[in-house]
Structure 1
Amino acid sequence: MKKVTAMIKPFKLDDVREALAEADIHGMTVSEVKGFGRQKGHTEAYRGAEYAVDFIPKVKVEIAVADERVEHVIETIVSAARSGKVGDGKIFVEPLEQVIRIRTGETGNDAV
């Protein structure tokens, strides 16, 4: 099993969720986060004063998925989240040693 973590633009969340649902991926955890990569922030004006925004708002989507479905999940996220502009985000894939459903005690793929 793997954990797929995607950092995406907030306005792309609905597109990603819908695309994953169509791909029969339903369980996910979503968090609002802030950060920066190559964008390195930007400046904005508020009431006539300019100020630097060092951290850009992003959405973190985490999905536990069986090994054989990882590539499909990645392709789905990329196609739904891509705008072609700087700051579209990143996807990280990590191994999951164990997954346990608390209610039933199921483990592994059965727990997802």
Structure 2
Amino acid sequence: MKKITAMIKPFKLDDVREALSDIGIQGITVTEVKGFGRQKGHTEIYRGAEYAVDFLPKVQLDIVVADDEVERVTEAIITTARTGKVGDGKIFVSPVEQVIRIRTGETGNEAV
């Protein structure tokens, strides 16, 4: 099993969720986060005062899938979240050693 963590722009969340649902992904965890990469933040003017926005709002998706589903899931995220501009985000794929469904005690792929 693999854990896919994707950092995307917040306005792309609904599109990505729909794309994942269309390919049969049933469970994702969504977290609102802040960070920066190559964008490095920007400056804004609020009530006449200029201030720096160092961390930009992003959405983090965590999805655990079987090894054979990783390519389909990452491709769905890439095609749906891409705007072609700096700050589209990143996808990280990590190994998962064990999954246990608390309610039933199922383990492995059955628990996902």
TM above 0.5, yes or no, is yes
- Tell me if 1:46 matches 2:46: yes
- How far the C-alpha of 1:23 sits from its partner, in A, is 0.7
- Tell me if 1:25 matches 2:39: no
Q: Within 1, Cα distance between the matches of 2:18 and 2:44? A: 32
Give the SS at the match of 2:4.
Answer: strand
Q: Spell out, residue by residue over 1:54-82, the C-alpha distance to the aligned partner (whole angstroms, 9 max, x if none).
A: 00000000000000000100000001100
Question: What is residue 4 of structure 1 aligned with on the other side?
Answer: 4
Question: What is residue 75 of structure 1 aligned with on the other side?
Answer: 75
- How far the C-alpha of 1:26 sits from its partner, in A, is 1.5
Q: Runs in 1 of length 4+ with deviation above 3 angstroms?
A: none
Q: Within 2, Cα distance between the matches of 1:92 and 1:50? A: 35
TM-score (norm 1): 0.99
Give the SS at the match of 1:90.
Answer: strand
Q: Within 1, Cα distance between the matches of 2:8 and 2:41? A: 15
Question: What is residue 59 of structure 1 aligned with on the other side?
Answer: 59
Q: Within 1, Cα distance between the matches of 2:26 and 2:10? A: 19
* Correspondences of 1:82-97 after superposition (within 5 Å): 82-97=82-97
- How far the C-alpha of 1:108 sits from its partner, in A, is 0.6
- Identity among equivalent positions (%) equals 77
- Tell me if 1:13 matches 2:18: no
Q: Spell out, residue by residue over 1:20-44, the C-alpha distance to the aligned partner (whole angstroms, 9 max, x if none).
A: 0001001000000000001100011
TM-score (norm 2): 0.99
Q: Within 2, Cα distance between the matches of 1:81 and 1:26? A: 19
> Structure 2 regions of 5+ residues with no counterpart?
none
Q: Within 1, Cα distance between the matches of 2:38 and 2:26? A: 31
Q: Within 1, Cα distance between the matches of 2:105 and 2:78? A: 33
- How far the C-alpha of 1:48 sits from its partner, in A, is 1.0
